[in-house]
Each structure stands twice: as C-alpha cells, then as structure tokens.
A and B are shown apart, each in its own frame.
Chain A
C-alpha cells in the first residue's frame, strides 16, 4: 500500500514569503505528526493531530507556523513570513489507532528560504 506522501519534495522561497507544505497520511491512520529536521540534527517535533484536532502543538516555534487537518486526513503546514532559519526538511508521519506507538514517516519536504 501507499506510504505517507509529502508535496512538494523541494520548495525554494524568498525571505518573507508564505509557504504551504502538504502531507497525505497512510489511509486509515487517524494520527498525523509534523516534525522538522535541520542539518546534522534529529527530527524536532512540531505538532500532532488526532483526527481533525491538534492534540499537541507545543513544538510550533512561533505564531508564523500553523497547521490544519480539516477532514482528518490530509494536513497542511503553513509558514508565514518565512525566515532563513526556517530552512529545513519538514517531515510528516502518521500512525494507526491500533499501533499508535509506530509513526510512519514520509520522505519530507526540503524547504530553502533564500
């Protein structure tokens, strides 16, 4: 079956612009997670959803970052007024209700802010 997919795979933008990153979880997975990974570091938690609601958004660095999951499936991570420090790989993961301890990751979106 299909895994977690993320689009675009690469995004280059200019400082100050707005970007949207999309995540399609594995079908039937009710929980969805966003992480970001900077060079030489492990993934850093941003937010996770259980269904349509954000269960924990404690990792969002500031109010420029926002994520939605309106129908409990696809999620969009939105970044306003991008800064060079936002450059990273943004990873999305999902997990099934019966095996919520295992998060299945997508390939990530590499965001570069010039």
Chain B
C-alpha cells in the first residue's frame, strides 16, 4: 500500500513566486522525512530533510514544514527559479528502519518565465 502520497502530479509556477509542494503520509511510525529533486535521466538529489521532533527546517530558498497531527508535510521554494523545474519526491523513513525510504509518486514542477 502507498504510505506516502503526493496527490498533485504537477505544479506550474511563475518565476519569482512561491512553489508549495504537499505530501501526506499514513504511517505514524515514520520519524524522518526527506525531499528529493530529480532531473530527467539523473538520479534523485537530496534537497532537505526534517526529523519528526521538529516542525520546520529551512535551508536557503527551501523550507520544509511538518504537521504530525495531520500527517502532512510541505516543501516551500521561494523564490522559484527556472532551474527548479524538476520532479520532486517526498520520502519517509520508519523509526528503527533507517535505510529504507518510502517515496511518494512525485510532483512535476514547471517554473515559467
């Protein structure tokens, strides 16, 4: 069963504006969450992560928010740039199983001029 869900397959945003990507999960045993970015013909690249003991983590233009009660996390990219056009994957790791990431299906982001 799909325990990590990204319900928006695509997102179009204007350059300079904010991109908000959403992710929902069902397993309350997940204790660590990550976002990866993927360009065509390349492997996913780590972007940012958050532990379940936090509700926010920021790194430059990227901020991840975690709402444990809602089992929801989001990635904010501001300002969006053309190079941000890629597929973004949300991933989660279960407590006690640090090597096994479970990924969502991804959201294709297109940043338009």
Contacts and interface: CB of A to CB of B under 8 A. Distances in A.
Nearest to B36: A105
Contacts of B46: 102-104
Contacts of A42: 4, 6, 89, 91, 103-106
Nearest to A102: B46
A105 B49 contact: no
Contacts of B44: 43, 91, 105
Q: Which of A40, A42, A43, A56 is packed against the most chain B CB atoms within 10 Å?
A: A42
Interface of B: 4, 6, 32, 34, 36, 41-46, 49, 89, 91, 93, 97-106
A55 interface: yes
Q: How large is the interface on A (under 10, 10 to 19, 20 to 34, 35 or more residues)?
A: 20 to 34
B59 to A, nearest CB: 12
Contacts, number: 59
A107 B101 contact: no
B100 A48 contact: yes
Contacts of A102: 34, 46, 49
B49 A101 contact: yes
The 6 closest A-B pairs by CB, nearest first: A105-B43, A42-B103, A48-B99, A43-B103, A102-B46, A105-B44
Interface of A: 4, 31, 33, 35, 40-45, 48, 50, 55-56, 58-59, 91, 93, 100-108
14 contacts: A31-B99, A42-B91, A42-B103, A43-B89, A45-B100, A50-B99, A56-B97, A56-B99, A91-B43, A93-B43, A101-B34, A101-B49, A104-B46, A107-B43
